[in-house]
Structure 1
Amino acid sequence: MAKIRDAASAFKTLNGLVCVYKPSCISIPALQHRIVSNLCRDLNALPDRPREQRVEIVGATNEPMNVKIVPNYADDPLVCGPRYIKEDFRCSWATYLGLFSSGVLLLGINDGTKLTYHINIGRPTRAFKVHGQLGKATDTYFWNGKTVERSTYNHVTRVKIDKVVAHMQAAHQKTMFELSGLHMESQTTYELASQGLIRPANSKLPVLYGIKCVYFEPPNFTLEIQSVNEYDKYLWTIIHDLGVQLKTSAYCTGVQCIRHGKFNLEDALLRKHWKLEHIIQNMRDCQQILDANEQMVKQKSAHLM
């Protein structure tokens, strides 16, 4: 654990990337507010610089006067307020997670906002565990929506789900190349793919690189999806489409981000660890990961036009 001597030295180290675990039903602005508030609280509880003093001259003007050094109450935290406030911090996220999604979230604090910007435009892949349930469909494709359909699912097996998700993965990969105007079996397509992971030039175009079923216990199942430019409602739609192709209905019950680039769940700070000493240590660990994987901030990959 990082050793903290005083508030001033601790504040100077708060410049970097932090990996946290975002709980479900907590928005990113609320999470940022919680973390920054905890940092202010912990910094203000640490030993700080000595209070400033002022020179005071007392006594009658027609007699020798006394010069004294007294505390400057204008510098007292009880008068001027806490030393560290929320406005002293800048905090930004690298890639957005929806309100009902949970999992790995990268935050940049102060100068670390530059890192989140480069990670955002580099668009490293993210891996999700998307949980679904068979037998019901909702108008939002999520569990909190209004039920619009019920159906049987006894005919659904693990083999059928694996077959459908394999077909969905192949269809997404084919569409990815078609959007570039290239033929799947052309030399140009091969050269483009050999340059690295293919990413769309449009940052709003979702691309799925892998889909597989990692859990099946009717009516519940879980898909592991690797993608870029995705968003929560798009992942909900995948569950709904899977139910349609299985000749039943399905809705999403939860979305969890388990990996973002080279950052996984083991690197993420839980809510109970959103404290100064843990954040400073996590910031150092994240920097080591970035140093070992420079491609996350200097992405070299093929892009679809």
Structure 2
Amino acid sequence: MSFNKLHGLFAAHKPAGITCSQLIGTLKTSLLKDLNASQKLYLPTFVEVKQFGKEAPNDGKETSNENQLWKVEEKKDLRFHPLVAGPYFNRLNVQVVSGGLDKKSSGVLVLSIGRASQYIPAYQNALLPRQYHVNMQLGYATSDYDAEGKVIVKSTYRHISREKFDRVVTGLTKTSRRYNSNYSGLDMQSQEAYDIAVSGKLESVTLFNQPTILTAKCLHFNPPYVSLEMECLNEDNDFIRDTINSLGIKLKSSAVTSRINRTKDGPFTMEHSILRKHWTLANIAQCIKDSKEMVKPFIKRKDMFLDELADEQVKGQPDVQIQ
């Protein structure tokens, strides 16, 4: 793969403690460093013509150049040397495709590079679910619903059993779907709702642009420490923390979120996201190549597909080969 074909979507693992902007900055620095290191030094040449020997004295009379010798040399133009003009590659277009991860959270972060940013709206409008593993702690509540916030409430949790916890967690999905159905203004008992359901478009009507919990289940229960697996749409980390706080209230106790880790974003899973130590040009180029078939059903456009975008050549850019 060459630099001219370095366009596509891929997933990176975002560690906790950094923002998405900081991740993109680190990623760009690593890619630009590899690009400039792989670029073979090419300098344009120019022809220099100069007189061989001393110039004849000018006495006001016309002299003939027939007997004069000229030296013609082809030299490299050092004005374009990286030590003079700077590195050839100095910018890259890397954008977040599917956000929702703040500084405290971690997990799969889908990014676009190059001209593949034009597929961001199509990917976002595909209503792809995202899966999270959420660690929570029972017994107290904070001002921002996060474990590191200021404690405002303390409560008991000894009365919470696994059966009761599972029952309340199951109710989260029903409550979320009922709220979104009411918000959409669609009467679920009407003929219109029936026709939309038959056509298979009910989910896109009732869940569009509203945070929704599709599934939720308990992975580990050892009070006060509990872990959940949640599959959501249109959510962000504030919505998840607010949900955990509401869950604690429904359990007649209180709860805070201690960790949020995204394990899946549409077709991308933890296996597809590359770690910080693997943010190199060769690895990212391979990830883009491997992800083409995964994202193709979700980013189709009438005028261009991802394969055609990758096969296009960018005028004015060197064809740097990526090993």
TM-score range, shorter chain: 0.7 to 0.9
Match of 2:96 in 1: 93
The alpha carbon displacement at 1:42 in A equals 0.2
Q: Which of 151, 169, 182 lines up with 1:178 in the alignment?
A: 182
The residue type paired with residue 278 of structure 2 is: H
The residue type paired with residue 112 of structure 1 is: A
Match of 2:119 in 1: 115
The alpha carbon displacement at 1:197 in A equals 6.2
Give me the whole-angstrom Cα distance separating, in 2, the residues matched to 1:45 and 1:200: 50
Q: Secondary structure at the match of 1:144?
A: coil
Match of 2:10 in 1: 18
Whether contact under 8 Å (2:180, 2:210) holds in the other structure is: no
Q: Secondary structure at the match of 1:39?
A: helix
User: Cα deviations across residues 87-118 of structure 1 (Å, max 9, x unaligned)?
Assistant: xx112111212222211111111111012231
Give me the whole-angstrom Cα distance separating, in 1, the residues matched to 2:17 and 2:273: 18
Structure 1 residue 127 and structure 2 residue 125: aligned?
A: no
Q: Which runs of 5+ in 2 are unaligned?
A: 57-67, 302-323
Structure 1 residue 147 and structure 2 residue 147: aligned?
A: no
The alpha carbon displacement at 1:40 in A equals 0.5
The alpha carbon displacement at 1:146 in A equals 0.3
Match of 2:19 in 1: 27
The alpha carbon displacement at 1:196 in A equals 4.3
Whether contact under 8 Å (1:52, 1:72) holds in the other structure is: yes
The alpha carbon displacement at 1:298 in A equals 5.1
Give me the whole-angstrom Cα distance separating, in 2, the residues matched to 1:298 and 1:207: 25
Using the size of structure 2 for normalisation, the TM-score is 0.83
Whether contact under 8 Å (1:259, 1:265) holds in the other structure is: yes
Structure 1 residue 46 and structure 2 residue 33: aligned?
A: no
Match of 2:299 in 1: 297
Structure with larger Rg:
2
Identity %: 31
Aligned residues: 286
Match of 2:305 in 1: none
Give me the whole-angstrom Cα distance separating, in 1, the residues matched to 2:18 and 2:299: 27
Give me the whole-angstrom Cα distance separating, in 2, the residues matched to 1:101 and 1:68: 62
The alpha carbon displacement at 1:273 in A equals 0.9
Give me the whole-angstrom Cα distance separating, in 1, the residues matched to 2:137 and 2:222: 10
Structure 1 residue 198 and structure 2 residue 203: aligned?
A: yes
Q: Secondary structure at the match of 1:266?
A: coil
Q: Which runs of 5+ in 1 are unaligned?
A: 300-305
Q: Secondary structure at the match of 1:189?
A: helix
The residue type paired with residue 45 of structure 1 is: A
Match of 2:274 in 1: 269
The residue type paired with residue 90 of structure 1 is: N
Using the size of structure 1 for normalisation, the TM-score is 0.87
Q: Which of 65, 77, 80 lines up with 1:75 in the alignment?
A: 80
The alpha carbon displacement at 1:191 in A equals 3.4
The alpha carbon displacement at 1:183 in A equals 3.8
The alpha carbon displacement at 1:203 in A equals 5.9
